[in-house]
Amino acid sequence: MMKRDEMLKVLARHRKDEIVVAVYMAAQELTHIAPNDLNYTFTGAMGQGSSHALGLALGRPDKRVVVLDGDGSLLMNLGSLVTIANAAPKNYVHCVCENGSYETNGAVPIPRAGKICFADMAKAAGYPKTHEISSLEEWDRQLPAILKEEGPVFVDLKVEPGELYPEDFRRLYSIEYRDKFRSALKNS
Amino acid sequence: MADAELKAADIIGEIKKAGIHFIVALPDRVTSHFLLKTMLRDPDFKVVQVCKEDEGISICSGLFAAGHRSLMMMQYTGLLDSVNSLRGVAVEGENPVCMLVGLLGKEPGVAPTASKKFGVKIIEPILDAMGIEHHWVETSADTPKIIPAIQKAYDTVKPMALLVGREPR
C-alpha cells in the first residue's frame, strides 16, 4: 500500500509535459504537491474524470493524458471502461487510486472494498495493458515505461491516505483555472 | 406538406458547416437510422460511442478544453439520466455542450410541453430550470436554426439543446 501523497510526488518527479486529470482526494493533493497549468480538475460531477480525459486525449492525440481516477468514481462510471477501450486512444493512461473508500464523502467503504479486481475489469473491457501497483518502489520503477506504453493503459494503484492537505473545491472546479488550462494546452 | 419533412442530409450539412467533426452518441430511435448511421459512415466525422449519456457530456467538455467543437446525440431519456452532469459539468462548469436530443414518442406538430408523453412534456421545463437554451427541430424550416444555436453556445460558453421532434429522413 502506498501513501497517496507519496505516490503523487513520484508522478510529479517523472512527469514531463503530460496532462493530468485528477478527481477528489488526488485532485486536492495534486494542486498542492505538483501545481501545473496542465492539471485538469474541472470534472464537475462524480465519476466523470475518465470521460473528460477521453475528450482531451481524442482532441490532443499528440499529448499524453494521465487520469487519477478514484475507485468509487470508477464504479459510478463503469461503462467508461468500455467506451475508452472502444475509442482506443493510444495516449491515455487510466490510473485508479484504489483506497476502498468514498474518502471525500465520509470515508465510507465502497461496495466489495478490497475484493474487486479493477485491472481484470479493465482487461475484460478491452484495455490492452493493465498493471496493479502496491508499493512506492514499484511505482517509481515502472512509471517511466508506463508513460511510454501504447494506450489505453490501466493502472490500479493501491493507496491509503498520507499527509493531510487543505481541501479547496472552489479551486478544483474554478473556471479561471480551467481557462488557464485551455490556454496552456493550446500553447503546448 | 414538404415543410413538415425534416431532411437528415440538411441537418448533417449544417452540423458540418458549424465546424463540428466530433460526434459523441448513444443511439436514439428518432435519429439513429438517418443521422447517426450516416455519420458513422462519413469520414468527416469521428464518432465516439458512449455507454451512458453523462459520459458524453464530459467527453464534449474535454474536447472543448482541447480546442474542438462536438455534438452529443441522445434520446430525451438520456438527457433526463444526465441531469447531474449537465448541472455540474455543462452549466456550472461553463462548457458549451451542444446536444441533439430525440423526443421519442412526441406527437407530430404538437409542442413538447403539450405532449401526452410525460417524459417529453417535462424536457423543456427542466432545461428552462437549468437555464439551458433549447430549440425545436421539427420541420425543414427549423434546420437553419442549427448553425446560429451552435455558434451562440460556443460564443457564450453555455450548453444548448436541439430538440428533434420527428424522425429526419
Model pLDDT, residue B1? 43
Give me chain B's average pLDDT, please.
Answer: 96
Q: What is the CATH number of the domain that holds A74?
A: 3.40.50.970
Q: Which domains does chain B have, with CATH numbers?
A: 2-164 (3.40.50.970)
User: A42, B93 in Cβ contact below 8 A?
Assistant: yes
Residue B34's SS3 state is: helix
Contact across the interface for A79 and B70, Cβ inside 8 Å: no
Contact across the interface for A83 and B68, Cβ inside 8 Å: no
Which residues of chain B does A86 touch, with a Cβ-Cβ cutoff of 8 Å? 49
Range of the domain at A60: 2-186
d(CA A84, CA A58): 10
The percentage of residues in chain A with a pLDDT greater than 70, rounded to a whole number, is 100
Count the domains in chain A.
1
Model pLDDT, residue A178? 95
Nearest chain A residue to B48 by CA distance is A87
Identify which of A34, A18, A17 has the alpha carbon closest to the alpha carbon of residue A26: A34
Identify which of A106, A2, A77 has the alpha carbon closest to the alpha carbon of residue B59: A77
Contacts (Cβ under 8 Å, ≥6 apart) of A79: B50, B51, B52, B55
Taking a contact as any Cβ pair under 8 Å apart, which residues of chain A between 60 and 119 contact chain B?
60, 77, 79-80, 82-83, 86-87
Q: How many CB atoms within 10 Å of residue A94? A: 31
Q: What is the pLDDT of residues B45-56, one digit of tens each?
A: 999 999 999 999
A171 touches chain B (CB under 8 A): no
- Helices A24-33 and A4-14 cross at an angle (nearest 10°) of 50
Contact across the interface for A55 and B66, Cβ inside 8 Å: yes
User: A68, A95 in Cβ contact below 8 A?
Assistant: yes
Q: What is the pLDDT of residues A49-85, one digit of tens each?
A: 999 999 999 999 999 999 999 999 999 999 999 999 9
Which of A23, A24, A48 to mutate against chain B (most B CBs within 10 Å)?
A48
List the beta bridge partners of residue B101.
B74, B163
d(CA A60, CA A56): 6
In this structure, is the dihedral angle defined by the CA atoms of residues A8, A137, A129 and A155, taken in order, positive or negative? negative
B1 touches chain A (CB under 8 A): no
Nearest chain A residue to B89 by CA distance is A44
- Helices B146-156 and B8-17 cross at an angle (nearest 10°) of 30
The percentage of residues in chain A with a pLDDT greater than 90, rounded to a whole number, is 98
Is the pLDDT reported for residue A110 higher than 60?
yes
- Locate A58 and state its grid cell: 481524442
Q: Which of A45, A55, A175 sits opposite B62 (nearest CB)?
A: A55
Q: Which of A42, A48, A60 sits opposite B66 (nearest CB)?
A: A60
- Locate A6 and state its grid cell: 507519496
User: A3, A162 in Cβ contact below 8 A?
Assistant: yes
> How far from the centroid of its chain's Cα atoms is residue A88's Cα?
17
Model pLDDT, residue B5? 87
Mean pLDDT of A40-56: 97
User: A81, A72 in Cβ contact below 8 A?
Assistant: no
Contact across the interface for A44 and B61, Cβ inside 8 Å: yes
Output b/e per residue, A45-83; b: 16+ Cβ within 10 A.
Answer: bbbbbbbbbbbbbbbbeebbbbbbbbbbbbbbbebbbbb
Contact across the interface for A86 and B49, Cβ inside 8 Å: yes
Q: How far apart, in Å, are the Cα atoms of B107 and each of A90, B103, B114, B166?
A: 45, 9, 9, 8
Give me chain A's average pLDDT, please.
Answer: 97
Q: What is the pLDDT of residues A156-182, one digit of tens each?
A: 999 999 999 999 999 999 999 999 999
Mean pLDDT of B77-86: 98
AA identity, residue A108? V
User: A41, A30 in Cβ contact below 8 A?
Assistant: yes
| B127/B2: higher pLDDT | B127
Residue for cell digits 478544483? A172
Which residues of chain B does A185 touch, with a Cβ-Cβ cutoff of 8 Å? 65-67
Q: What is the pLDDT of residues B96-151, one digit of tens each?
A: 999 999 999 999 999 999 999 999 999 999 999 999 999 999 999 999 999 999 99
Which residues of chain A does B65 touch, with a Cβ-Cβ cutoff of 8 Å? 40, 42, 52, 55-56, 59, 178, 181-182, 185
Model pLDDT, residue A19? 98
List the beta bridge partners of residue A21.
A40, A67
Is the pLDDT reported for residue B2 higher than 70?
no
Mean pLDDT of A138-158: 98
Identify which of A58, A68, A57, A63 has the alpha carbon closest to the alpha carbon of residue A172: A68
- Locate B126 and state its grid cell: 427542466
Is the pLDDT reported for residue A23 higher than 70?
yes
Q: How many CB atoms within 10 Å of residue B34? A: 18
Model pLDDT, residue B3? 55
Nearest chain A residue to B47 by CA distance is A87
> How far from the centroid of its chain's Cα atoms is residue A21's Cα?
6
Q: How many residues does chain B have?
A: 169
> What one-character-per-residue DSSP string does A156-172 give?
EEEEE--S-----HHHH
